Structure 1
């Protein structure tokens, strides 16, 4: 193809980067004067831009349709029948197939542990209190320590005639409440001596009655001998009375030199309290030992 009078020219394609644009001349003009036709160039550039926009819009629409089609195919392929699936929840068993907590929880028959044995029960009546009993069992050894103070053990005595081991109003109290036995032991520290007397009854009620009926003149008879001088036979002494279970226990404390006990004699008061506390502990321990043996048996 030729344009005007020029020789053979290669066709210009705007989409081929190596093609060249022919010179544009009027059909009846003379030879080319090498001046570019700016109007023709502008029209060609606008045509190229318009064509590119059409291609981009068309390509984007085709890509969107292709992606949507791929997603639809994937959903249909995953579900088989083409219906939507619940994923992992569709694989759970029905409600009736799931075991409930109430159906599988183990049940146990109600049980209750037996109440612990009360040690006091074993020293509250002669029927249960069957363990061996003597002054040396209640007050063992040759000395005892209470609150850091050491007391030496002196003479002991044991009698079935309770009134003979008491004085003033105490013999009647013991007899009226059915005392069956009186055990005594004396402890000393320096010139202070204390006699502890433990009266035995058949029941707790009898021992409590003796404690309740005793007054300031109900005094255990002091026990001397075996190196312990006589005390509390005419001088003023300090006495205590108490009970635990079927036992009533008494103390009388004073000076071995015959002096009266005054409120300032703190060592006498302390000795009497220490020995009363020791008597209580020994009686309670007697009950604990028998309760433990009964529980193990």
Structure 2
């Protein structure tokens, strides 16, 4: 006998004693079904919540496929502030022209345009060098270069194209020095005249300076050139005594005057170079 679906099942022989084992198994089966239903429902609910959250994230990101900030939300290079508001320094790729060389202006008469005068080479009334003061005496300027020389020097100057010769005499304590500046057209001519030089520049007396270094008296002679100028000196005693290697006063006087002459020639080039540089930048 049975009581229909869900009722107790009787055991064999219809003893009306419930089959407790079957009932326990059926109850356990129902319990398992309810448990799986609960688990399945929870999983579905979790999935639904996850889907809602994902949808919300995607919508906030502008519809992109990535969860989190979208690439379009990140700042691009054009959105970044400049590194500095200060203008960047700029440098010219063109190198400035070098300054004029003073030597260029005294090496060729085509560029050497300053007037040539006695005072241009021998200014003032005296020359002071250290504690030595040399008084300027007579001066001379001639276009006949040989006229201001002794021995073979006149021929050498003329052969090499000397244009003019300027002389000046200085004296101190019985020692006199005459310096002669020979002017040529080019540097090469001046150098050659010095290389070939013989004889000496003629001493120039007057204005309180007696005749010196004439009539075979031994004196100190020098010859040098700078640019298109050759300069010669003769120095000795005003009383006609021969000069020896031990006469330091004669040598120092000659050195003072030749060094001064060199600086005057160089200054001539520097003056013209400075004027050319000012004209170029002005």
Deviation at 1:218, TM superposition (A): 2.8
The structure-2 alpha-carbon separation of the partners of 1:141 and 1:92, relative to structure 1 and needing over 3 Å to count, comes to: farther
Matches within 5 A, 1:268-279: 268-279=250-261
Deviation at 1:191, TM superposition (A): 0.4
What residue number does 2:151 align with? Answer: 168
Matches within 5 A, 1:197-276: 197-214=180-197, 217-234=198-215, 235-276=217-258
Structure 1 stretch displaced more, 148-157 or 91-100: 91-100
The structure-2 alpha-carbon separation of the partners of 1:159 and 1:100, relative to structure 1 and needing over 3 Å to count, comes to: same
Q: TM-score, structure 1 length as denominator?
A: 0.65
User: Is residue 157 of structure 1 aligned with residue 168 of structure 2?
Assistant: no
What residue number does 2:173 align with? Answer: 190
Q: Which runs of 4+ in 1 moved over 3 A?
A: 95-101, 104-109
For residue 290 of structure 1, the aligned residue among 241, 259, 272 is 272
Matches within 5 A, 1:59-78: none
1:65-87 deviation line (CA, Å, top 9, x unaligned):
xxxxxxxxxxxxxxx99x778xx
Deviation at 1:147, TM superposition (A): 2.9
What residue number does 1:54 align with? Answer: none
Deviation at 1:132, TM superposition (A): 1.5
Structure 1 stretch displaced more, 283-292 or 258-267: 283-292
Alignment partners' CA distance in 1, 2:158 and 2:96 = 43
Aligned length: 214
What residue number does 2:39 align with? Answer: none
**SS of match in other structure, 2:263:** helix
Alignment partners' CA distance in 2, 1:117 and 1:92 = 61
Alignment partners' CA distance in 2, 1:100 and 1:107 = 18
The structure-2 alpha-carbon separation of the partners of 1:211 and 1:99, relative to structure 1 and needing over 3 Å to count, comes to: farther
The structure-2 alpha-carbon separation of the partners of 1:93 and 1:207, relative to structure 1 and needing over 3 Å to count, comes to: same
Task: Give the unaligned 5+ runs of structure 1.
Answer: 1-79
Deviation at 1:187, TM superposition (A): 0.2
Structure 1 stretch displaced more, 154-163 or 117-126: 117-126
**SS of match in other structure, 1:182:** strand
Q: TM-score, structure 2 length as denominator?
A: 0.69
Alignment partners' CA distance in 2, 1:202 and 1:91 = 83
1:255-282 deviation line (CA, Å, top 9, x unaligned):
0011000011001001111100000000
Aligned-pair Cα RMSD in Å: 2.9
Structure 1 stretch displaced more, 258-267 or 165-174: 165-174
Deviation at 1:138, TM superposition (A): 1.2
